Amino acid sequence: MRKNGEATIQDAHVRLGRALRAVIIGALAVLFLVPFYLLVRGGLSSESDLTSPGWTFFPRTLRWSNVRELFDDPSVPMLHALWNSTQIAVLTTLGTLLLASLAGYGLARIPYPYANHVFYAILGTLMIPSAVTFVPSFVLVSTLGWISTLRGLIVPTLFSGFAAFVFRQYFLGFPKELEDAARVDGLGHWRTYWRVVVPNSRPVFAAVGAIVFIGSWNAFLWPLVIGQDQQAWTVQVALATFTTAQVVNLHELFVAAAVSILPLVVVFVVLQRYIVAGVERSGID
Partner 1 sequence: MPSRLLGPQNRYLWFWVFTGPFVVGLGVFVYVPLLWSLALSFFDARNTVTPTHFVGLSNYTSVLGDSAFTSSLATFAVFCLFIVPATYALSLALALMVNRLRLARAFFRSVFFLPTACSYVVASVIWKLSLFNGVRFGLANTVLRWFGQDPVAWLSTSHPPWYWLVIVTVRLWLQAGFYMVLILAGLQRIPRALYEAAAVDGARPGWQVFRHITFPQLRATSVAVVLLLVINAFQAFDEFYNLLSTARGYPPYARPPLVYLYYVALGQGQDLGIGSAGAVVLALIIALVTVVQARWFGLGRKEE
**Does residue number 25 form part of the binding site for partner 1 (CB under 8 A)?**
yes
SS3 192: helix
**Does residue number 50 form part of the binding site for partner 1 (CB under 8 A)?**
yes
**Does residue number 65 form part of the binding site for partner 1 (CB under 8 A)?**
no
Question: In angstroms, rounded to a whole number, what is the distance separating the alpha carbons of residues 18 and 228?
Answer: 54
**Nearer of residues 4 and 143 to partner 1, judged by Cβ:** 143
Number of residues that bind partner 1 (CB under 8 A): 95
**Does residue number 254 form part of the binding site for partner 1 (CB under 8 A)?**
yes
- Answer for the pair 77, 230: CB distance below 8 angstroms, yes or no: yes
**Does residue number 131 form part of the binding site for partner 1 (CB under 8 A)?**
yes
**Nearer of residues 69 and 95 to partner 1, judged by Cβ:** 95
Q: Taking CB under 8 A as the rule, which mask of x and - marks residues 164-183 in contact with partner 1?
A: x-------------------
Closest CA to 42 of 15, 75, 80, 70: 70
CA triplet 257, 261, 262: central angle to 5 degrees? 115
Q: How far is CA 273 from CA 8, 206, 215, in A?
A: 40, 10, 17
**Does residue number 270 form part of the binding site for partner 1 (CB under 8 A)?**
no
Question: In angstroms, rounded to a whole number, what is the distance separating the alpha carbons of residues 58 and 222?
Answer: 37
> Among residue numbers 188 through 247, which ones bind partner 1 (CB under 8 A)?
188-190, 193, 214, 217-218, 220-221, 224-225, 236, 239-240, 243-246
SS3 41: helix
**Does residue number 7 form part of the binding site for partner 1 (CB under 8 A)?**
no
Closest CA to 165 of 117, 211, 125: 125
Candidate residues 67, 155, 187, 198; the one interacting with partner 1 per rule CB under 8 A: 155
**Nearer of residues 7 and 14 to partner 1, judged by Cβ:** 14
Q: Taking CB under 8 A as the rule, which mask of x and - marks residues 87-106 in contact with partner 1?
A: ------------xx-xx-xx
**Does residue number 185 form part of the binding site for partner 1 (CB under 8 A)?**
no
Instruction: Report the nearest approach of partner 1 to the CB of residue 15 (Å).
Output: 13
Closest CA to 160 of 270, 280, 282, 283: 282
Residues 6+ apart with CB under 8 A from 227: 84, 148, 153, 233, 234, 237
Q: How far is CA 84 from CA 4, 27, 78, 256, 279, in A?
A: 69, 39, 10, 15, 26
Instruction: Report the nearest approach of partner 1 to the CB of residue 74 (Å).
Output: 20
Instruction: Report the nearest approach of partner 1 to the CB of residue 150 (Å).
Output: 15
**Does residue number 152 form part of the binding site for partner 1 (CB under 8 A)?**
no
Question: In angstroms, rounded to a whole number, what is the distance separating the alpha carbons of residues 49 and 81?
Answer: 28
Instruction: Report the nearest approach of partner 1 to the CB of residue 51 (Å).
Output: 6
**Does residue number 184 form part of the binding site for partner 1 (CB under 8 A)?**
no
- Answer for the pair 227, 146: CB distance below 8 angstroms, yes or no: no
> Among residue numbers 68 through 87, which ones bind partner 1 (CB under 8 A)?
none
Q: What is the DSSP letter of 232?
A: G
**Does residue number 135 form part of the binding site for partner 1 (CB under 8 A)?**
yes
**Does residue number 148 form part of the binding site for partner 1 (CB under 8 A)?**
no
**Does residue number 126 form part of the binding site for partner 1 (CB under 8 A)?**
no
